[in-house]
Structures are given as C-alpha cells and as structure tokens.
Chain A
Amino acid sequence: MEGRMDAYARFRPESSTVPASGPVAIRILPEVARFSLRIAPADLGVASEAFGVALPGRIGEIAAFGSRRALCLGPDEWLLHAEEEEAHVIEAAFAERYAATPHSLVAIGDREIGISLEGEEAATLLSTGCPIDLERLAPGTGKRTIFDSVSVVLIREEKDRFTLEAWRSFMPHVLGLLETANRELAAGL
C-alpha cells in the first residue's frame, strides 16, 4: 500500500517536473487549449479555414501554423492544440461556420495531461509499454495508441523527443511506469 500512496502523493499535474529518475527527461507539459474536432472529411476545407491551419487528411499526419497544430486521429477526427488564450477565438470561428457546415468541436483541454519524453533512450523507454513499432512512427507524426492498458496520443516531435497525452486520471499510472522504467535504463541492464 505504501507504494500506492506515494505514487499519488508525488503526482501533481500542477507541477511541471517529474523527479529525474533516469536518462530520459520526463516533463509535464503546460496546459494548452485542446479540442476534439469531428467533421466530415469533405468539409475539411471549412475546418482548415476556421482553425487557420490546413488540416491533414491522412491519419497520423500533423499540420501546424504558429502555436496551432492539428493531428489527424481518425478519418473524421482531429486533435487540435492551441495556446489557452486562443480558445475562445477558435470556438467562435467554428461556431460561425456551424450552421452551414455542421461539425462537433468539444473542448478537452482539461481531459488530458501531456508529458514530454526527451533523450536518446526515449523510444526504448516507451517500448516498455507501447506495443507498436516506434521506428515506424516518423518524427512529425503521431497517433492514438496504447501504453500499458491506457489509451494515449503519442506524437514523435523529433527522433528523440515524444509528447504523450493521456486522460487525466490515467496519467499517474503512465508516469509511474515510465519512472520505474527510466530507473531501469539508469541501472543499465
């Protein structure tokens, strides 16, 4: 039981750092405006116009402009990221187009917590819970996948830097596993 309490006591989404436990730097990312956009693929142009970024049409692709970026998660599903201050502007831009182009834009900024994993062994660290072949996840792409038993969105920012987002209540579990595995990498075995 002690381990259980400890793991939760240490975890505070408000704090931005996770105690260094190994060669991979694990950081909790600042809050962002986050939306789940669902729209018919035929209406992608309208959505691109509303968001100000040409939304990618292929699952896994990412498009960005300034601090806004969009990841195509499914044939009619995009994950949008933006700075928090921009949330209302984005909502308004989509709302304006709703009547002519129905869609669903749902704020999920608080639903997930994002973390960053950086270091030469970041992919190895992820392979402790992630069954996909990470070599096939090219830098600049992302996808929804699974880490341990948890549904996550994984973005490969660079070869050795990943962003991982999971629903808030699952993050302590994911982080705990990553820290354990990071210590394992530090042990060198």
Chain B
Amino acid sequence: MSTFRVAGRGRIDRSRPIRFTFDGRTVQGYEGDTVASALLANGTHLMGRSFKYHRPRGAVTAGSDEPNALVGTRRGPGRFEPNTRATMQEIYEGLRTESQNRWPSLGFDVGGVNDRFYMLFSAGFYYKTFMWPRSFWDKVYEPVIRAAAGLGKPPTEPDPDRYASRFLHCDVLVIGAGPAGLAAALTAGRSGAKVVLVDEQSEMGGSLLSEPSVEIEGQPAWDWIAATMAELASMDNVRLMNRTTAIGYYHQNMVGLCQKLTDHLPVPPEGAPRERMWKVRAGEVVLAQGALERPLVFDGNDRPGVMLAGAAQTYLNRFGVLVGRRAVVVTSHDSAWYAAFDLADAGCKVAAIVDTRAEVMSALREQARVRGIEVLPSHTVTGTAGRLRVKSVRVNPVVNGKVGAARSLDCEALLMSGGWTPSLHLFSHTKGSLHWDEEAEAFLPGRKTEACRIAGAGRGLWGIGKALEDGAKAGAAAARALGHEAEAKSLAVANDREGRGVTHKELPTDRDPGRARAFIDFQNDVTAKDIRLAVREGMRSIEHVKRYTTNGMATDQGKMSNMNGLAIAADAVGKAPPQVGLTTFRPPYTPTTFGAFAGYHRGSHFEVTRKTPIDSWAEEHGAVYEPVSLWRRARYFPRGNEDMRAAVARECRMTRASVGIFDASTLGKIEVAGPDAVEFMNRMYTNPWTKLAAGRCRYGLLLGEDGYIRDDGVIGRLSNDRFHVTTTTGGAARVLGMMEDYLQTEWPDLRVWVTSTTEQWATIALNGPNARNLLAPFVEGQDMSDEAFPHMSVAECTVAGFPARLFRMSFTGELGFEINVPARHGRALWEKLWEAGQEYDICPYGTETMHVLRAEKGYIIVGQDTDGTVTPDDAGFGWAVGRKKPDFVGKRSLTRPDIVAPGRKQLVGLLTDEPDVVLEEGAQIVADPDQPKPMTMLGHVTSSYWSETLGRSIALALVAGGHGREGETLHVPMPDRTITAKVTGTVFFDPENTRIKL
C-alpha cells in the first residue's frame, strides 16, 4: 500500500515491485528504491533509535551523510551488516533489514529512559559519571555500559563473502558524477584522455537526479543525463563506476575506491566478490563531490519527520515519494524554497516557509504566494512536538534580536535547511589548506598539494549552470595538463535554481536553552548545549571540543555536524570560525568493511605459505607443521597416538641410534662468485677464509657493524672463486640484501657477485651413525671415506644420479651429510633414501628434534639463543672470530666500551636440580628468589627441551656474567613455584665430538 507515492514522479520502475522486510514486516517498494525511500513511501519515518539517548529517529538525509537511519541488513548466514545506511541500501527481493539500538522494539524501547536522564549524559559524561565508587566500575558500569553501548551488533559468523582488489592507472579521475563531474568527465573523455568517473550512488547524475525541471542544452535534465551517460559509455577511454566511494586520497594522486558489487543484487553471481578496493593512480584528479546540506539547530530537530529540505526534494523527484502531506519548511537558504515548491506542486500542503532571514528574493516570495504558501520571514523555530513522528512545530518571530510570541503549526514533516557545506573531505586528506570565505560563509579549498582540481559546489559555486561550466573547465584543464587537447564547451541551462543563504549557530529561542534538545551530531547525540558546556569546562581547541563531546566522531564523521559544531564552539569561545578552525578529516570517507581492506588476503591466502619440494611427502606421512618465517616446516612425525614429546623423544633416539632424515631445504643459500670472493668473505664474516681450501667448509658467523650476531651457517668453498653460503631460514633475504648493500655501496671495486640459490636446491640432511652407510652407495664422483671426505667437506658429485652439492657437516653432533640437489629432484631423492634407509630403521625427523639434538650439542639458533644484542664472545663463539684480520663487518664494535664491559649477558647451559622439570623458554632468571619485588633479573631461558639422549631436561640461557657463574645455582620463579637450576657449559653431549668423526 504505497500511500505516499506520487504518480508520475521519480525514477523508480513501477513495473518492478520488490518486497523486503523491515523488523519482520513486509514492505513493498520498486526497483530503484532505497530502504529509506521505500519505508517513507509506506509512511514509515521511524527507522531507528539514537546511540546514547535512544531517541526515536527517522531518515534526515537521502544520501551517505545519513546519521540516523542505520539498519542491519541480512541475506543469510554470516551475511549480516550492521549500520547500513537505509538511505543508500538499494532494495532487492528478499532483503531483510532491522532497526538498531532498541529493545524490545523500535516503537517501545527500554533504553529510551536514557533520554529522561539526559542531564547525566552531558558532554564528557564518560569521564565524569562513572568514576566512583571504584567497585562500581567492574560490577556495574563496565558490564551494563558494555551491553548497552555500541552502534548495531556485529555478526558472529565468519564472513562467507569474497573481496577483491585491483590497481588502476588513469589520466583523469573524476570523483562525483553530478553536473560538475559529468561535465568534467565528458570534456576530458572527448579529449582522448583515459578517464575514470566514480560515484557512490547507484546511478550517476548527482543533484540533477533531484532537479528534473532544469533544462540543459534545451533538453530536460534527465534526458541530458541519459545522453551524457550514453556518450561516456561509448568511449573506450572512459570507465564508469557507480556504487563506488572514493574513501581516501593519498600521496601523488593515489585514491582508494571502494566499489560495492553485489549488495544490491537478489542473487549475486557465482564467484563474484562483494566489494572491490581499487587503488587508482591518476595523473589528475577532479573533485566534484558537491556540497552537503546542513540541518538547523533547534529544540526537537531530531524528531522523525524532521529532515533536510534537499532530502525531501530528492525523495519526491528521484523516488516519487512525498515525505508528508502537510509540511512546514524552516530555512536560512533559498534552496529550501525550491524544495517547498516541488512538494507543493506534488500535492503536499506546505503550511509555511519559515525563513530566519528578513530579506528573501522577491521572485521566491512571489512563487510562494502563487502556491498559497504562508511566508514567515525573520522567524525562528523553538520546538517540535510528537512522540514517534513530528506533529507540530513551534515558531516565533524575531524582532530586533528578541524572540516574540510562539505559534504552533501542525505538520507531518518539517523540512529544514541551514545552508550547504562544500564537501572537502578528500581534499583535506591531501593536506590541502582550507580558507574561510566570508561571502559563502564556508571553508573553501585553498593551497593544493596534489594535481587536483575542485569543481562545482565543492568550491562554493551554486546552481546547475555554474556547476556544469566549472566541471567542464576542470575536465579540460586536467586533460590539457596531461598533454591532451581539450576545450570546455559551455552548456545553456534554463530553469536553473540559483540561490544563497546564511549560516547560523543554534536558532534563538524564548525557552531555557539549557533544556533544549537541539542536536548537532545526530548519530552521537551531541547537542548545542554539550558544545557550550565543553567550552565552559575549558576546552578551547576544536580538536578538544570534538573529543570531549564526541561531536563528529560517529560513523558519519561529522558530515552534517561539523560546521554547526564549529559555529557554536566559535560563538562560545568568542572567536570567528576561521580562528577556531576545523577538525581534521581522515579516511575513509564513509565506513568501509574490513573485507574490502583485506581483499584476497584471507584463508589460505592470508599470507604467503612457502613449502619445500619435500613438503608433500611430509604431508602424506602425517607431519605436524610449524611456521618458520614464511615457510611451513614439518615439526615432527607422530606415529600412532604419539604426542609431540613422545614423537620427538623417539625421533631423537632413532637418529642417534642409526640414522635420521631431515628436510633442510628452507636454509638460505647464496652463491658468492668472482675473483674477489674470498676477500669479500673475509670482509663480511668474522671467520678467516683465505686458508680454507676448495672442497672444505667452515662455520661462518655474520655480525652487524654494531658487533652483534646477525646470522650464521656453514659455508663451503667450491673452488677458489666460488662459495656456497648457507644462512638461517629466516635470515636468507636479509643476508643477501646486506651483501648486496656492501657490494654496491661500500666495495664496488670488488669483482664478486652474489646470487640467491635458496630455492634452486632441495636440501636433505642425513644424520646418525649409519648416515654414510646409507648414503655412500648412491654417491658417484666422490670417495666417501673419512680420509677422502672428512667432517666439514664439500663436493660436487652425483647422488642417485642427480647432480648434487654434497656437504659433510652436522647440526646434531652425529656423523652428518647435507645433500643439495636441484629442487625438482628433491622429493625423488628423499624417497630413494627413505626406501634404502628402511634397512637402517631410518627415521624422518622434524624441526623440533633438530632443535633438541643441536641443543644437546650447544649449537645455537640465531634469533632464538641470540636476540640482536649478543656478541660472539657473549655466545661463547670467540673461536669463530678471525681477530688477526684487519677488518670485517662489526670488528671495530667488538672493542666498544659497552661490549667489553663486565656483566654482559652470556650464553650458558642450565640444568634443573629436578631433572624431570623442563624450564619454560622465556622464563626469567634471578639470583635470589627471596629478594623484594621487583626482582633483579639476571637473564632468561632461550632454549629448553627434554633430552631423551641424556634422560633429563636441558636448557640454554642468557645470564648476566654467565661465563663466570659455572656451578652457581640460579632461580627461575614461575607463577606456581620457583625452580632451581645450576649453571653449566653449553655442550651437554659428546663434548669431544667423537661421534661426528666416524
């Protein structure tokens, strides 16, 4: 029953009725309707409750600046979106919507009692009301307020939708497709420039969609839009994007666009993303965002049925909806007069136009007279009445600044206009300056920091003709700036609606202003009184006023409230508005989903997961994984019902007893090649390399210039001029970058080059007394005897027929080999070794066993046992430093005063007095557990494991003066008890290294 539809008006498709629900009630609208327009067509103004006072509220705008009519929208499990603007959400068959901030129902809401106690909730109430008594905070305020607070309810299920993103490069990006934007895009598009035109609305046209009586080039406005859109659509160099909001304007004309793709569709296509984030780089940007209408500030200006005059005009002309049959208009701007005329012509009884100004153009007064509309100049509005909908408005004359006797006018709708604010949010993102224009009484764009142009109402121009002309000029200038030939064609406009207005602080009243519920920020329930209170309580900066009152901090980001708040704050401070200034606009322009920002980065693509060529074998054999930098690595291979401890104990046993096989492919590998390779290695690493023969390898330690350990790894000399460097898994990219840095910037004279080969090679480690017995039969081209291929050797040979780089080395203390083969052969070689290894009871082991085995030997893991403040001496690795070398990276720092000072944290072993107790990694260590808190920490546990080999726990720790504490008992306080442990050396197993020399 569309009782408020007006025949012959609007752009909705009456042949396509659509049903949706609002709070469970079925509502009928038409294709082209928004939720708000369809509800209004059915006579429903009450659409929600306010955030703080739970006051009944209706739509006050017809656009994205809407503060009140926020609804939840739902289209199935996980597809619930709170705080959707009813004024923007297009309806589709089956859409379900619900009102917010009310319980049990929209008409009767318990939270509405807040409104009775509004004196409690004045500005800064967060800081005042809930302070005392202390115990109330936990028991009353926090739980109660938490339950009542918030704007809408977030969904609880995972979001099943997909989100997309794309980069886009264009010559001219035009933001806003009203008259200025359309003219700009048309002009730039005709020049051949690559143009992108975006608009947040479902259809382009902007204010022209609400002004059908205007004629452009002899055509009715809507025909001109259709012709213009057709021409733009026909150009290959123009991309049109509706339902697309420019959310942020960043450096060098990078603009973020959020495009809504499916929220208007009854059934989204398979595979379609819900939203797409565009990162656009434009040569020139034309900002044609127009202006936003301001409300007037008076008691009761938030009652359902009170709305912006321009919104009422849009509902009528674009949606064919009369917002009420009897209306009063209150305004300080001419634009509302036109709205009054349009409504009157559509059958609305406009009881009066109340204008705050004494003087209004005679032409307007004449048109009002013709329509029988009473005109009340020099009047104010001092109140409204009606519980869930406005019933009447109280108006008073103002004579010589005195408010006269009140008079009540009945109405179903009260249309207000406090003038228009140029929309400069995006311009402000660029840090472009704003200047106060006395005549326009508005902030207008000043100095620019980006290649952008502001066109139309955004720079204070009023009227369709001026907007078209300005837009065309901006489009032409933008195209010309990029080398295109363009000319701004002027367009003849008839029936234009030019006008002007004045701006106000809150309207004068004959009542106690302290009791007036005159709202500025509708969404955050901030009133004029709150602003004045904030100033009285000492807030002087507009930024402080904003934070104290929360004015402009709601999801609409002050689109409606900003200027009214400023006018009242300026008045209260006693300064002119430009002296007070605006708060900073920040992205995004309208609320944007997390999904749009996340884009493709969710689920399996949340981040890169790197896998080795052998990973698939591990997966098939039940590996449990752990992430190591971006890699996923097999942590252990449980058999049967083994937990990690049992599996790791078994893997350790089997490896030390016979042979274990380990995927070491993630180790970083760098090929260092060139005549100066050895000189380069001498300069980079602490160790001496000159005497290392080809075919041998050595443990290498890399420092930063600050003298702290950065990385380590075994390095093989393949030939005089060529080294195979290995790095830690996580350090691979960093070490390569560091090498390139020194080569490019410090030692460009060295003839040596570095190349990452991390992923060229798959690396398989065999460790254990049977490692050679298993491997040797596969090796060709290298004598595998201990004499010919001793510990710390490297050879190029073949293994199982694959070209290989074979290292004899050990990170377990057992006889060990690392076999590098081209990555594609990694899994094949693994399988051959696995098969042959059955005879030796071969055991695949993961990173956890690798950690235990190496800790038993006191081998460190850089980044676990070191933390960026550990020197070679601190780690007990002084032997790895070639002190006779004249220089190497970090050498000078090893004699820095703080590095040679006593008391440094040094790496030691820790053995708990109770051998079954395994310390927690990261646990703090103290000398005296009975000292008063805060205790003096000596250091912390860096590595701690159950050692199956030793049948007890072992740990490594960084302890102040640790090397001098051997034999001391230290204490590790834990939440439930304090553990005692003795300081030892770091090598727990086979200190003579007999096992690796088999």
> What is A's interface to B at a CB cutoff of 8 Å?
3-8, 13, 31, 36, 38, 40, 76, 98, 102-104, 106-112, 124, 127-133, 135, 148-150, 167-170, 172-173, 176-177, 180-181, 183-184, 186-189
In contact, B164 and A128 (Cβ under 8 angstroms): yes
Residues of the A chain whose Cβ atoms lie less than 8 Å from the Cβ of B279:
131
Chain B, Cβ-Cβ closest to A38 = B753
Decide yes or no: A189 and B272 within 8 Å by CB, A4-B603, A102-B674, A104-B674 being known contacts: yes
Q: Select which of B162, B262, B751, B753 is within 8 A of A180 by beta carbon.
A: B162
**B590 part of interface (Cβ distance < 8 Å):** no
Residues of the A chain whose Cβ atoms lie less than 8 Å from the Cβ of B619:
8
Residues of the A chain whose Cβ atoms lie less than 8 Å from the Cβ of B675:
102
B942 to chain A, nearest CB (A): 28
**B129 part of interface (Cβ distance < 8 Å):** no
Residues of the A chain whose Cβ atoms lie less than 8 Å from the Cβ of B270:
187
Report the Cα distance A55→B600, complex, angstroms. Answer: 39
**B242 part of interface (Cβ distance < 8 Å):** no
Chain A, Cβ-Cβ closest to B675 = A102
Chain A, Cβ-Cβ closest to B612 = A169
A105 to chain B, nearest CB (A): 8
User: Which residues of B, 123-175, contact A by the 8 Å Cβ criterion?
Assistant: 162, 164-169
**B281 part of interface (Cβ distance < 8 Å):** yes
| Apart from A103-B753, A110-B761, A176-B604: 15 A-B pairs, beta carbons within 8 A | A3-B604, A8-B609, A102-B751, A104-B752, A106-B757, A108-B757, A110-B823, A127-B167, A129-B600, A177-B605, A184-B271, A187-B269, A187-B272, A187-B273, A189-B272
B828 to chain A, nearest CB (A): 11
Q: Select which of B605, B673, B755 is within 8 A of A173 by beta carbon.
A: B605
Report the Cα distance A44→B260, complex, angstroms. Answer: 52
Report the Cα distance A4→B823, complex, angstroms. Answer: 22
Residues of the A chain whose Cβ atoms lie less than 8 Å from the Cβ of B755:
36, 38, 104, 106, 108
In contact, B271 and A187 (Cβ under 8 angstroms): yes
Interface residues on B, range: 35 or more
Decide yes or no: A189 and B760 within 8 Å by CB, A102-B675, A110-B824 being known contacts: no
Q: Select which of A4, A6, A132, A181 is within 8 A of B609 by beta carbon.
A: A4
Query: Interface 1/0s, chain B 711-722, versus A by CB < 8 A?
Result: 000000000010
In contact, A169 and B610 (Cβ under 8 angstroms): yes
Residues of the B chain whose Cβ atoms lie less than 8 Å from the Cβ of A111:
756-760, 823
Report the Cα distance A38→B272, complex, angstroms. Answer: 45
In contact, A170 and B608 (Cβ under 8 angstroms): yes
**B261 part of interface (Cβ distance < 8 Å):** yes
Q: Select which of A98, A135, A150, A169 is within 8 A of B631 by beta carbon.
A: A169
Report the Cα distance A176→B604, complex, angstroms. Answer: 9
Sorted from nearest, which 3 A-B pairs have the closest CB atoms?
A104-B753, A169-B610, A38-B753
Residues of the B chain whose Cβ atoms lie less than 8 Å from the Cβ of A109:
760, 822
**B402 part of interface (Cβ distance < 8 Å):** no
User: Which residues of B, 584-636, contact A by the 8 Å Cβ criterion?
Assistant: 600, 603-605, 607-613, 615-616, 619, 631
Report the Cα distance A148→B169, complex, angstroms. Answer: 17
Report the Cα distance A49→B269, complex, angstroms. Answer: 56
A104 to chain B, nearest CB (A): 4
B679 to chain A, nearest CB (A): 13
In contact, A173 and B165 (Cβ under 8 angstroms): no
In contact, A184 and B272 (Cβ under 8 angstroms): yes
**B671 part of interface (Cβ distance < 8 Å):** yes
Decide yes or no: A186 and B759 within 8 Å by CB, A4-B603, A180-B600 being known contacts: no
Most chain B C-beta atoms within 10 Å of own C-beta, residue among A6, A36, A102, A131: A102
Residues of the B chain whose Cβ atoms lie less than 8 Å from the Cβ of A176:
604-605
User: Which residues of B, 750-788, contact A by the 8 Å Cβ criterion?
Assistant: 751-761
Residues of the B chain whose Cβ atoms lie less than 8 Å from the Cβ of A128:
164-167, 600
Report the Cα distance A135→B168, complex, angstroms. Answer: 10
Residues of the A chain whose Cβ atoms lie less than 8 Å from the Cβ of B261:
189
Residues of the B chain whose Cβ atoms lie less than 8 Å from the Cβ of A170:
608, 610
Q: Select which of A107, A149, A184, A186 is within 8 A of B608 by beta carbon.
A: A149
Residues of the A chain whose Cβ atoms lie less than 8 Å from the Cβ of B607:
149
Query: Interface 1/0s, chain B 479-497, versus A by CB < 8 A?
Result: 0000000000000000000
In contact, A133 and B169 (Cβ under 8 angstroms): yes
B240 to chain A, nearest CB (A): 14
Residues of the A chain whose Cβ atoms lie less than 8 Å from the Cβ of B600:
128-129, 148, 177, 180-181
Decide yes or no: A131 and B604 within 8 Å by CB, A108-B755, A168-B823, A170-B610 being known contacts: no
Decide yes or no: A186 and B271 within 8 Å by CB, A38-B755, A103-B753 being known contacts: yes
User: Which residues of B, 70-123, contact A by the 8 Å Cβ criterion?
Assistant: none
In contact, A184 and B273 (Cβ under 8 angstroms): yes
Residues of the A chain whose Cβ atoms lie less than 8 Å from the Cβ of B751:
40, 102
In contact, A112 and B605 (Cβ under 8 angstroms): no
Report the Cα distance A102→B750, complex, angstroms. Answer: 11
Residues of the A chain whose Cβ atoms lie less than 8 Å from the Cβ of B281:
133
Report the Cα distance A172→B609, complex, angstroms. Answer: 8
User: Which residues of B, 722-772, contact A by the 8 Å Cβ criterion?
Assistant: 751-761
Most chain B C-beta atoms within 10 Å of own C-beta, residue among A31, A111, A167: A111
Decide yes or no: A189 and B673 within 8 Å by CB, A13-B824, A36-B755, A173-B609 being known contacts: no
Residues of the B chain whose Cβ atoms lie less than 8 Å from the Cβ of A181:
164, 600
In contact, A131 and B760 (Cβ under 8 angstroms): no
A146 to chain B, nearest CB (A): 11
Report the Cα distance A6→B995, complex, angstroms. Answer: 43
Q: Select which of A36, A110, A184, A188 is within 8 A of B164 by beta carbon.
A: A184
In contact, B611 and A172 (Cβ under 8 angstroms): yes
A59 to chain B, nearest CB (A): 15
Residues of the A chain whose Cβ atoms lie less than 8 Å from the Cβ of B271:
183-184, 186-187
Report the Cα distance A6→B605, complex, angstroms. Answer: 12
A90 to chain B, nearest CB (A): 15
User: Which residues of B, 673-722, contact A by the 8 Å Cβ criterion?
Assistant: 673-675, 721
In contact, B273 and A110 (Cβ under 8 angstroms): no
Residues of the B chain whose Cβ atoms lie less than 8 Å from the Cβ of A129:
600
Report the Cα distance A172→B630, complex, angstroms. Answer: 13
Q: Select which of A31, A102, A180, A187 is within 8 A of B605 by beta carbon.
A: A180
Chain B, Cβ-Cβ closest to A169 = B610
Query: Interface 1/0s, chain B 807-833, versus A by CB < 8 A?
Result: 000000000000000111000000000
Decide yes or no: A189 and B759 within 8 Å by CB, A102-B751, A104-B753 being known contacts: no
Report the Cα distance A131→B252, complex, angstroms. Answer: 14
Residues of the A chain whose Cβ atoms lie less than 8 Å from the Cβ of B822:
109-110
Report the Cα distance A148→B609, complex, angstroms. Answer: 13
In contact, B759 and A167 (Cβ under 8 angstroms): yes
Report the Cα distance A176→B602, complex, angstroms. Answer: 12
In contact, A106 and B611 (Cβ under 8 angstroms): no
B825 to chain A, nearest CB (A): 8
Chain A, Cβ-Cβ closest to B270 = A187
Query: Interface 1/0s, chain B 241-264, versus A by CB < 8 A?
Result: 000000000000000000001100
Report the Cα distance A149→B164, complex, angstroms. Answer: 16
Report the Cα distance A150→B758, complex, angstroms. Answer: 15
Chain B, Cβ-Cβ closest to A112 = B759
Report the Cα distance A180→B163, complex, angstroms. Answer: 10
